Amino acid sequence: MPPHYDTIIVGTGFASAFFLLRHLEYASPDAKILVLERGRLDSKKWQLENRATSSIPAHNVFVNKNLDKHWLTSPGFGGNSNCWWGGATRMMPGDFQLQSRYGVGIDWPLSYDDLEMHYGVVEDVMSVSGPVDSPMPRSKPFPQPPHIFSDPDARLKKHFPEGWFHPATTRARVATASRPACCASGVCELCPVDAKFTIQNGLASVFHDPRVTLLLEAPVDGIETAGGRASGVVYRQGDRTVHAEADLVVLGASALFNPHILLRSNIQHPLLGKRLHEQMPVDVCLDLKGVKAYNGSTTISGNGYLFYEGEHRRDHAACLIETWNAPFAYGRNAFRSERDRWTERVFMRFMFDDLPRDDNTVTVNAANPQLAETRFNGYSDYALRGAALIPKMVETLAQALPIEGIVSVLTGATTAHIQGTVVMGDDPASSIVDRHLIHHQYRNLLVLGASAFPTAAPAYPSVTVSALSLWAADHLHEGQA
């Protein structure tokens, strides 16, 4: 007989860890919870020695059929929290209501207000540093004080007080019990001082709860079903194939691997694996006259909301701007060559929300079904129309910044935010999970994470992913508290 658990959770990234955090608050003292993680525990020490965040290369887990478009994943305990940039922006209220406010895209089946309280909990757990003012409504202040602006950010804030903000980031401004303050040294992909929140440094305790059995190097191949319910999972351990049963199955394997697992389980839906998307990134490099950049206190030193919310969203994509305070990312163009003027140059990333397209997909690789496969045929016209307005946007920024010239405007290969593929909605015909991330057909199966996002937002996804997991766990246990 296969072993039986109350709950089986797949993955140990943001989606699973925040779900488990709340689930444990409700679970009985004798609950049996199995967590299956495909990767290893690649400790910070291992990461620094190997200058990598995962010991499993991406090509061991998926095939990318369009190499111009990158999708990034870091398999292992803690998921992408090991490699993420730490950006912790909430979505704006309008991101949830594109159709009803602006007549484009589709509305999410829940609102900003539904998530507001959960956002606050996530920010506390991650100890987020953020602005004292805020572009979106908040019921409480950020747990950490804001970082220091770079000089270009300070000018932009002065000129556009309602449009420019300190970043919401998990790169600590002041030390926490487990993380030192950000050193802004520019080696940010590894974060050698461990200043940014990761599951390893901030939420590993939930996996050590006595009710939880965590198995590493245990990739899940499929979900088993019987009588209209999910009955358990099948996973591998070494050469063995193992079956395990559960009353509740929770997928938190990311927008890349949730659809892969569901497709391999023959849990079909016409939209499954479709609408793969992320923000369209455009990197803009500007030369400044007499204003020095790169002097903020963390890797991204400012966020511009000037072109985010508003009636323009009826016609073209909204945009969130990042000021980059870490020149390494831009290689040889990072600095000017003139004596005494080498930091009079600013890099900004403009991120536009994309309207998901059905022809951008995750499928199962035919040659090796253990690999997911991505296909990307392009961004929506909506996103492209937004990006075409960058010269005008730069003209607006020039009201605050002495811009000497535009050095380059380049579309980036990725924002590293994989979204869509198992979309949520109220109607089972046009969505796969409901507003509480419960599968419409298999009511004891939850599919967590950014796979549920029906539309993109210019904002980063992970605090929303985490807040959604709290919201889903609360709903599951409604009336039980």
Binding footprint of ligand FAD on the chain (CB under 6 A)? 10-16, 36-39, 72-76, 79-81, 83-87, 219-220, 252-254, 257, 261, 416-417, 449-450, 460-462, 465
CB of 235 to ligand FAD, least distance (A): 7
In the numeric block, which tokens belong to residue 186?
Answer: 């520019």
CB of 286 to ligand FAD, least distance (A): 22
Query: Which helix H or strand E contains 396, and what residues bound it?
Result: helix 390-397
Query: Which helix H or strand E contains 231, and what residues bound it?
Result: strand 229-237
Residue nearest to ligand FAD (CB): 13
CB-wise, 98 or 457, nearer to ligand FAD? 457
CB-wise, 250 or 400, nearer to ligand FAD? 250
Instruction: Quote the CA–CA distance of 433 and 445 in Å, as a whole number.
Output: 9
CB-wise, 55 or 396, nearer to ligand FAD? 55
CB of 233 to ligand FAD, least distance (A): 9
- 221 contacts: CB under 8 Å, gap ≥ 6: 234, 235, 236, 241, 261, 264, 370
DSSP state of 313: G
CB of 382 to ligand FAD, least distance (A): 22
CB-wise, 244 or 403, nearer to ligand FAD? 244
DSSP string, 106-154: ---SS-HHHHHHHHHHHHHHHT-B--SS-SS--SS--SB---PPPHHHH
CB-wise, 38 or 275, nearer to ligand FAD? 38
CB of 54 to ligand FAD, least distance (A): 8
Check the CA dihedral 117-30-480-248 and report its sign.
positive
Which of 114, 1, 39, 83 is closest to 464 using CA atoms? 114
CB-wise, 243 or 336, nearer to ligand FAD? 243
Which of 136, 131, 133 is closest to 113 using CA atoms? 136
Which of 471, 469, 381, 334 is closest to 9 using CA atoms? 469
CB of 40 to ligand FAD, least distance (A): 9
Q: How many CB atoms lie within 10 A of CB 6?
A: 16
CB of 288 to ligand FAD, least distance (A): 25
CB-wise, 112 or 257, nearer to ligand FAD? 257
Instruction: Quote the CA–CA distance of 305 and 133 in Å, as a whole number.
Output: 13
CB of 71 to ligand FAD, least distance (A): 8
- 299 contacts: CB under 8 Å, gap ≥ 6: 85, 86, 169, 171, 182, 184, 186, 188, 324, 325, 326
Phi-psi region of 70 (alpha: psi -120 to 50; beta: other; left: phi over 0): beta
CB-wise, 40 or 385, nearer to ligand FAD? 40
CB of 17 to ligand FAD, least distance (A): 7
CB-wise, 199 or 334, nearer to ligand FAD? 199
